[in-house]
């Protein structure tokens, strides 16, 4: 792993506070490409992406999740949609690729669960046999708010067990 990749991984934090600054199309394309390049079970590629930039769509999506109030303030929202038979693990891999690629460009992110799947499907116009795995909010961080949210990561020695629990 390159030092830059490691730096991106260990410094990335979720945030729900964004500057009112659009994300350039080239950066959006790199974020989407990073999601596309994520591995998937048996190379099934079950994740599709819906890019939402409009105020109405972001506001409507915010009503589909219990902790999605920040979606309207994000300049870019991407819904990760699973085709029938697609697994949440594959969507998670794509999401992490996208969020790390964004952070490498100085764009922060936050994954959001869509608790009301029926409403989210209607907002996004997706078929009834598809599901919204998650929605990702992207934006340049508003540095008035700390990226770590005040809670520090647990030390490695509290998380890792060697050979057995």
Q: What is the CATH number of the domain that holds 81?
A: 3.40.109.10
- When the pLDDT of each residue in the chain is averaged and rounded to a whole number, the result is 94
Percent of the chain with pLDDT strictly greater than 70:
96
As a whole number of angstroms, the distance between CA 5 and CA 44 comes to 26
Residue 111 is assigned to a structural domain of this protein: yes
As a whole number of angstroms, the distance between CA 125 and CA 57 comes to 11
* Interval 78-96 mean pLDDT: 97
Percent of the chain with pLDDT strictly greater than 90:
87
As a whole number of angstroms, the distance between CA 25 and CA 78 comes to 14
Domain span at 56: 3-144
As a whole number of angstroms, the distance between CA 98 and CA 105 comes to 11
Give the chain's largest Cα–Cα span. Answer: 51
How many domains in the chain?
A: 1
Residue 161 is assigned to a structural domain of this protein: no
Q: 2: pLDDT confidence band, cut at 50, 70 and 90?
A: low
The tens digit of pLDDT for each residue in 104-163 reads: 999 999 999 999 999 999 999 999 999 999 999 999 999 888 776 667 889 999 999 999
Is the separation of the CB atoms in 98 and 33 below 8 Å? no
């Amino acid at each position: 792993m390159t030092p830059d990749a490691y730096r991106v991984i260990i410094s990335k934090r979720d945030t729900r506070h964004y500057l009112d600054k659009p994300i350039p199309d080239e950066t959006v394309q790199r974020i989407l490409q990073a999601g596309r390049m994520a591995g998937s079970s048996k190379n099934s590629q079950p994740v599709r992406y819906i890019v939402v930039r409009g105020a109405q769509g972001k506001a409507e999506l915010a009503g589909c999740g219990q902790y999605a109030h920040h979606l309207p303030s994000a300049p870019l929202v991407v819904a990760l949609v699973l085709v029938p038979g697609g697994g949440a693990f594959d969507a998670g891999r794509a999401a992490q690729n996208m969020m790390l690629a964004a952070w490498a460009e100085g764009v922060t992110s936050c994954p959001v669960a869509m608790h009301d799947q029926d409403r989210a499907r209607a907002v996004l116009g997706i078929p009834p046999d598809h599901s919204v795995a998650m929605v990702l909010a992207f934006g340049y961080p508003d540095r008035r708010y700390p990226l770590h949210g005040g809670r520090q990561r647990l030390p490695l020695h509290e998380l890792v067990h060697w050979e057995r629990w």
